[in-house]
Amino acid sequence: MQYDRGVAAVTGVRTPPERPRLLDEVRRRLRMKHYSLRTEQAYLYWIRRYIQANGRRHPREMGGAEVERFLSDLARKGRVAPSTQNQALSALLFLYREVLAQEQPWMENVVRAKRAPRLPVVLSRAETTALLRHLCGREALMAGLLYGSGLRLMECPRLRVKDVGLEP
């Protein structure tokens, strides 16, 4: 076991190294598994809300009943969309499986919310052309790239010159 020599030299007291805080450990695991920054932010948000909703108790002290109550309250009181509820569930499953290394039987029985089927609204070619004609400058360039290349929304602003292949 290593001790901090700087503290021991000044105070004469040896202290064991601090264990990482829970959210710091979640962040470290997410980055180790190469999750996106947006996913990291969302997961940390939902884990914080879960802890606060349960009286700031540590997740090791809680289990399936608390997770189920939290997700049910999201749906009933918070009136969140099924995709939002599923995101919160994914964050909590990541916390328990990856960070706390707990595989509980309730994790397999969690029911995910289902989204109501609906057809996407698609613009006609004429409507798309009219829309693109009303844009100018940077917005026109970005909209054209998104439409013509199939880039995801956040891929477009992060696009760099070196990412574009200009060879014939």
- The residue assigned the tokens 């613009």 is 123
CATH of the domain at 28: 1.10.150.130
Report the distance separating Cα 72 and Cα 85, nearest Å.
9
Q: Report which of residues 75 and 100 the model is more confident about.
A: 100
Q: Which helix H or strand E contains 52, and what residues bound it? A: helix 37-53
pTM given for the model: 0.59
Structure tokens belonging to residue 80: 């969140």
Judge if 91 and 66 occupy the same domain: yes
- Is residue 135 one of the residues assigned to a domain? yes
Q: Is 8 within a domain?
A: no
How many folded domains does the chain comprise? Answer: 2
Distances (CA, A) of 29 to 5, 34, 96, 101, 131: 28, 9, 12, 12, 43
- Predicted confidence band at 164 (pLDDT cuts at 50, 70, 90)? confident
User: For the chain, what percent of residues have pLDDT higher than 70?
Assistant: 84
Q: Are residues 37 and 96 in the same domain?
A: yes
E-state strands within 29-140: none
For the segment 9-65, what is each residue's pLDDT rounded down to a tens digit? 555 666 555 667 999 999 999 999 999 999 999 999 999 999 999 999 999 898 888
Range with the largest mean pLDDT of 7-21, 57-71, 104-118, 126-140 = 126-140
pLDDT at 103 over 50: yes
Query: Does the pLDDT at position 1 exceed 50?
Result: no
Q: Which residue has the tokens 């026109």?
A: 140
Residues 81 and 131 in one domain: no
